[in-house]
Amino acid sequence: MIMLMLLMIMFILILMFMCSSSFIMSWILLECNTMSFLSLMCLNSKLHKFSFLSSYFLIQVLSSSLLLVSLGLMNLELNLLISSMYMLYNFSLCIKIGLAPFHMWVVNLSVSSSWLGIFMLSSVQKIMPMILLSWNMMSWFIIILSIYSLLVVIYNMLGLISIKLIFGYSMLTHSSWMSLMLVNMYWWLIYFILYTFLLMLICVVNSFLRVEDISDMSKLSSLNIFMKVFYMLNLLSMMGLPPFVGFLIKWMILSELFSFISYFIVLLIILTSLINLYMYMRLLLWVMFIYSGKSVQFKNFFWNKVILMNYYVYFSSFILIFLMYYLINL
């Protein structure tokens, strides 16, 4: 009951944030949302894992303080400090989002969180900082950090066996892509909605089967064939493998990036994405080659509806992406 109430509070705060036009009011709502998320994490964490929550709290306090200072300097309208103001503003929000080199708190928190916490941290908690970043974004600064984040992921993900750790670094990859997509908020919105629904099914299944390590992927053999195939489709889309929807949205945003950054940087982004496929392929192979005669069903009515909605969003997203691409290029 308390968890449901906290989720409702977070949802209301996000709606209020989207209706706000004041920087200070947006900052207050952002902090209220952070405290709600922290309370939610406390309900789902074991006692020995509270040190990670303390680290999360301290990092959020630091980034919020820097953000408030930058907002205060902006109100003073000091022309000599305008570059420093925007740098501090972007710097504080990158800490909140968890872009490298400020990413370790995200990875550590992912390991200690439930699958609900990972889902919230990967999706819902990105909305407010990303929108704030889009208001006063220093494009070159965000592009540099996004590319650096993709390189950090490649270096750290090789050889990992913890599923939560893999998804922690995967979160960093998708945060980088979402940051790059802030150049066009239409594409950012489509990518965010698509990523949220793809991740939702994966987190629901992993939570239901209590998947922690790669060896636990054998538990997916208890899924019926339809659920297993759709789990694989979601992984393929998150990999960005053609012709799935994850590839389509990345391909279209890369066509946007060609207009204002060099071909070398775009090529580097593509190469890092290709190398990042390796870890997803490891997960996918586990799902493809495990089989059991028995199958389990999701008996919870709510999660059945969530999974059904995921199916509809997945298949309708093909049409939505091409429609948006056509409308934007009119």
How confident is the model over 204-235, as pLDDT tens digits? 888 888 888 877 777 777 777 777 777 888 88
pTM reported for the whole predicted model: 0.85
What dihedral angle (degrees, nearest 10) is formed by the CA atoms of 22, 26, 32, 35?
Answer: -150
Percent of the chain with pLDDT over 90: 21
List beta partners, residue 213: 162
pLDDT band at 292 (very low <50, low <70, confident <90, very high): very low
Q: What pLDDT score does 294 carry?
A: 47
Listed as own residue / partner, the contacts of 285-288 with beta carbons closer than 8 Å and 24 or more positions apart are: 286/214, 286/217, 286/218, 286/220, 287/217, 287/220, 287/228, 287/231, 287/232, 287/235, 288/232
Q: What pLDDT score does 296 carry?
A: 47
Q: Which two tokens stand for residue 44?
A: 């789902």
Q: Which residue blocks in the chain are alpha helix, DSSP H?
A: 2-19, 23-44, 50-76, 82-97, 104-112, 115-122, 127-135, 139-157, 163-180, 185-209, 225-239, 245-257, 263-288, 301-328
Of 319 and 298, the one with more pLDDT: 319
Of 315 and 57, the one with more pLDDT: 57
Q: What is the per-residue pLDDT across 181-207, written as a single tens digit (0 to 9) for each?
A: 888 888 888 889 888 888 888 888 888
pLDDT band at 68 (very low <50, low <70, confident <90, very high): very high
Specify the range with the lowest mean pLDDT, choosing from 33-42, 53-62, 285-294: 285-294
Does residue 126 contact residue 94 with C-beta atoms inside 8 Å? Answer: no
Q: Which two tokens stand for residue 35?
A: 């405290």
How many beta carbons lie within 10 A of that of residue 114, not counting itself? 18
What dihedral angle (degrees, nearest 10) is formed by the CA atoms of 237, 253, 151, 194?
Answer: -30
Rounded Cα gap, residues 40 and 107, in angstroms:
18
Give Cα 330 to chain centroid, integer Å: 30
Would you call 22 helix, strand, or coil by DSSP?
Answer: coil
Residue 69 has pLDDT above 80, yes or no: yes
Specify the range with the lowest mean pLDDT, choosing from 84-88, 163-167, 310-314: 310-314
Which backbone phi and psi does 162 adopt, to 5 degrees? -80, 120
How many alpha carbons fall within 13 Å on the CB side of residue 98? 26
Rounded Cα gap, residues 276 and 264, in angstroms:
18
Q: What pLDDT score does 308 carry?
A: 57
Percent of the chain with pLDDT over 70: 83
Does residue 319 contact residue 248 with C-beta atoms inside 8 Å? Answer: no
